[in-house]
Amino acid sequence: MSAGSFAGRTALVTGSTQGLGAALLHQMADLGLSTAIVTGRGVDRGQAVAAELQAKGCDASYIPVDLANMDSVLELVDQVRERYGVVHHLANCAGITDRGDIWDTTPELFERMMQINLHAPFFIIQGVARMARDAGVPASVVNVGSVSGHGGAPFITPYCISKGALMTMTKTLANQLMRDHIRVVGVNPGWMDTPAEDMIQRKYHNAPDNWLELAAATRPFGRLIQPEELARTIAFVLSDEAGMMTGSIIDYDQSVQGTSEN
Q: Note the residue count of the chain.
A: 262
Quote the distance between the C-alpha of residue 249 and its chain's center. 13
Task: State how far the Cα of 234 lies from the Cα of 241, in Å rounded to an integer.
Answer: 12
7 closest CA partner among 129, 89, 80, 63: 89
**For 11-60, what is each residue's pLDDT tens digit?**
999 999 999 999 999 999 999 999 999 999 999 999 999 999 999 999 99
∠ CA 17-233-83, rounded to 5°: 45
Please give the pLDDT value at position 27.
Answer: 97
Backbone angles phi, psi at 244, to 5 degrees: -100, 20
121 closest CA partner among 240, 13, 230: 13
Q: What CATH architecture is 10-190+225-251?
A: 3-Layer(aba) Sandwich (3.40)
Please give the pLDDT value at position 92.
Answer: 98
H or E segment and range at residue 121:
helix 120-135
